[in-house]
Amino acid sequence: MENKEFILCKYGEIVLKGLNKGQFEKALLGTVKTRLADLGEFKIYYAQSTLYIEPMSAECDIREALGRVKTVFGIATVTRALAVKKDIDEIIKYAKTYIPPFLKDAATFKVEGKRSDKSFPLTSPELAAKVGEAILEVLPTCKVNVNDPEALVRVEIREEYAFLHANAERGAGGIPYGTSGKALLLLSGGIDSPVAGYMTAKRGAYLEALHFESIPYTSQMAKEKVLTLAKKLCAYIGRVRVNIVSLTAIQEQIKRLANEDYFTLLLRRSMMRIACRVANMHRCDVLVTGESLGQVASQTMKALTVTDDAANIPVFRPCIGLDKEEIVKAARSIGTFDTSIIPYEDCCTVFTPKHPKTQPELIKVLEEEKKIDFIRLEEEALASMENRLISLY
Ligand code: ATP
Ligand code: MG
């Protein structure tokens, strides 16, 4: 038998799913297949809470494949693993050659054995001990530390092969993309909304995006920046449609007719109404925003209540309890931060009032709202909606 390297992906929360587990596994399998489609012929299948990725030719780009599966939601750990014959002598032979390069920076290691195939003659601890001895023979300066090892080596006796691997890497976690329903992400060019989108997608929601522009008050470059952010999110979600609606006429009317203190609230309510219509068009069940409690005047509890009153579907705000610093940290780790900080105007920052209402009363907001023909303006804004399909490759 020729030995080859597989990629093994261990599930995250899917393992906790009961009768529905198959549905989540199927979704995960579908995502991984799509994500690796252009990297050569792989056989991809699942068994025993593990997704197996087996290269079927020498042309398969296994390094790139590993990088890509690390961004797939639903996977807790990923590792390259050598498949060897289920024979202890073979396992020892390959443990001596395959494992040492992974331990070159480690002073201590531990071997864990796992035997899914109970007919294998050695128990898991016996197997681990044998492999540990073999590694020590070739790496005499390395020490075994079972309590706090720097490197973890695993030998797993599975259905078809025994697998050897060391130092599995963390996957993206979460649950498979598209298994929790569909959400419409209100995507601005800021730091918060891409993070909110990522968090929602990580919990399995399929994302559709909506961006509001306000040309000439916002620029073409601001829109391009948002599309770049959408593309960065595609590292995790593969593809996303960005719907683009112009708020120019609505903002001009608000500025002309409403009391300045209410500009932002009226605008945000209008954004919510339009977003609900777009959500309905694309069968999204919820809206998602990057709002965080108390971050700005429009994000106080009272202001958010006034905003929510204009929405007829739930508004998810995954960043609600995060400090700015925590959102920035998340934005850096998902790769959106550097784009988000490029300075461009957002529709929410044009015509901002000097004294925005932080404790607005809904009744007064509704009075102000009557001054403007929002029904007609929103209809017109929706009629000229465009969309762009963004995908990773
Ligand atoms: P962000 O960093 O995400 O822009 P923010 O703290 O700057 O958020 P606001 O500008 O008040 O906050 O916007 C709050 C939320 O409203 C955003 O997180 C986003 O979900 C939505 N939003 C704001 N501007 C737009 C826009 N131009 N298009 C779509 N959604 C927007
Ligand atoms: Mg913003």
- By the 8 A CB rule, do 264 and 353 touch? yes
Split into its structural domains, the chain has a count of 2
- 1 band by pLDDT with thresholds 50, 70 and 90: very low
Ligand closest to 324 (CA) is 1
Nearest CA to ligand 1 atom 25: 188
Residue whose CA is closest, atom 31 of ligand 1?
188
Tell me which residue of 277, 273, 283 sits closest to 206, measured CA to CA: 283
- The Å distance, Cα 387 to ligand 2 centre, comes to 20
Binning pLDDT at 50, 70 and 90, where does residue 2 land? low
Model confidence at 212: pLDDT above 90 = yes
Share of the chain above pLDDT 90, in %: 90
Is the distance from the beta carbon of residue 212 to the nearest atom of ligand 1 less than 6 Å?
yes
97 and 213 in a single domain? The answer is: no
- Identify whether residues 249 and 289 lie together within a single domain: yes
| Cβ of residue 208 lying under 6 Å from some atom of ligand 1 | no
Residues 115 and 193 both lie in one domain: no
How many residues belong to the chain? 393
For residue 393, the model assigns a pLDDT of 75
* 177 assigned to some structural domain: no
350 touches ligand 1 (CB under 6 Å)? no
Q: How far apart are the first and last CA of the chain?
A: 36
> In this structure, is residue 244 part of a structural domain?
yes
Residues flanking ion ligand 2, Cβ below 5 Å:
188, 190, 346
Could you tell me the distance, in angstroms and rounded to a whole number, from the CA of residue 346 to the centre of ligand 2? 6
* CATH code of the domain containing 241: 3.40.50.620
Residues 166 and 186 grouped into a single domain:
no
DSSP count for the chain of H helices, then E strands: 13, 15
Interval 314-354: pLDDT, tens? 999 999 999 999 999 999 999 999 999 999 888 888 888 99
User: What's the pLDDT at 186?
Assistant: 98
DSSP assignment of 176-209: -TTSS-EEEEE--SSSHHHHHHHHHHHTT-EEEE
Are residue 163 and residue 188 in the same domain, yes or no? no
Nearest ligand to the C-alpha atom of residue 352: 1
List the domain range (segments joined by +) for residue 118: 4-170
Residue nearest to atom 2 of ligand 1 (CA): 190
Q: Are residues 333 and 204 in the same domain?
A: yes
Smallest CA-to-CA distance from 240 within 60, 47, 388 is with 388
Which ligand is the nearest neighbour of the Cα of 322?
1
- Kindly report the CATH number assigned to the domain that includes residue 129: 3.30.2130.30
Query: Considering the entire predicted model, what is its pTM?
Result: 0.94
| Mean pLDDT value of segment 180-186 | 97
Ligand 1 centre and the CA of 356: distance in Å? 16
Would the pLDDT of 192 be above 60?
yes
Instruction: Decide which of 136, 170, 204 is a domain's last residue.
Output: 170
Residues linked to residue 84 through DSSP beta bridges, in sequence order: 162
Same domain, 227 and 327: yes
State in Å: Cα 79 to ligand 1 middle.
38
